[in-house]
Amino acid sequence: VFGQVSFLAVDHLRAMLRAGRLLSAAGDEVDLSQLQRLALPITFLHGEKNRRFLPVGTEETLLALAQENDPALYIRKTFPGYGDTDCLLGKHASEDVFPAILEHLQRSR
């Protein structure tokens, strides 16, 4: 499905899930006082049926970023009927989700 790609991001997510908190790539605890470093356009896409990463997680992340930075930088979109990887690999992702990705890319130029 993925071809030749690095799974460093997947390994990083796995380490954070095991630890139950945010970690840097080096495995150190993340300093949340540095949220201003994420003052850039981010669109959070979340499958409403995602039970691996609950939808409330992206909601809380957006709120934390918006308190520290310009709230206009952040958008959160949830997709009914979608689970965790469905947003990228789902049968109708190209019609339901991909337009939101294109919108983000056009907004962020």
Q: pLDDT (tens digit, 9 = 90+) per residue, 39-69?
A: 999 999 999 999 888 888 899 999 999 999 9
Question: Of 102, 75, 79, 100, which Cα lies nearest the Cα of 90?
Answer: 79
Tokens 């470093």, located at residue: 37
Distance CA(54)–CA(56), nearest Å, equals: 5
**Confidence band of 13 (pLDDT split at 50, 70, 90):** confident
Residue 17 has pLDDT above 70, yes or no: yes
Task: Give the number of other Cβ atoms within 10 Å of residue 46's Cβ.
Answer: 20
Which residues, listed in sequence order, are joined to residue 77 by a DSSP beta bridge? 45
Question: Of 95, 29, 17, which Cα lies nearest the Cα of 57?
Answer: 17
